[in-house]
Structure 1
């Protein structure tokens, strides 16, 4: 796991240690720290894949259906 994770846009990154959202703002010291980390060879984790509920076409079973009652 990297120190940072990308988000859906380049407007921010996530610091993995505390899940803080770091905005893309040159005046922000956390963003400056992220830029130094990148310059030193750091590679952020990719954005987690999005879940598309439309792809789940099977309706969920009820507890009674699972237990056969």
Structure 2
């Protein structure tokens, strides 16, 4: 796990140690720290899109395993 993770947009990165959202703002000291980390060779974790789950169409464990058929 890297120190930072990318998001769906280039306007924010996530600091993994505390899940803080760091805005892409050159005046922001956390963003400046992120930029230094990148310059020193840091590679952020990639963006992972959330699972597309429809809570109204969820299956039970038995259905998933085929026992509900």
TM-score of the superposed pair, with normalisation by structure 1:
0.76
Deviations 1:10-50 (A, max 9, x none): 00100000000000000000000000000000000001133
Tell me the number of residue pairs that the alignment of Structure 1 and Structure 2 aligns.
Answer: 63
Partner of 1:18: 18
Q: Do residues 60 (structure 1) and 69 (structure 2) align?
A: no
Moved over 4 A (4+): none
CA RMSD of aligned residues (A): 2.6
Partner of 1:5: 5
Secondary structure at the aligned position of 1:60 is classed as coil
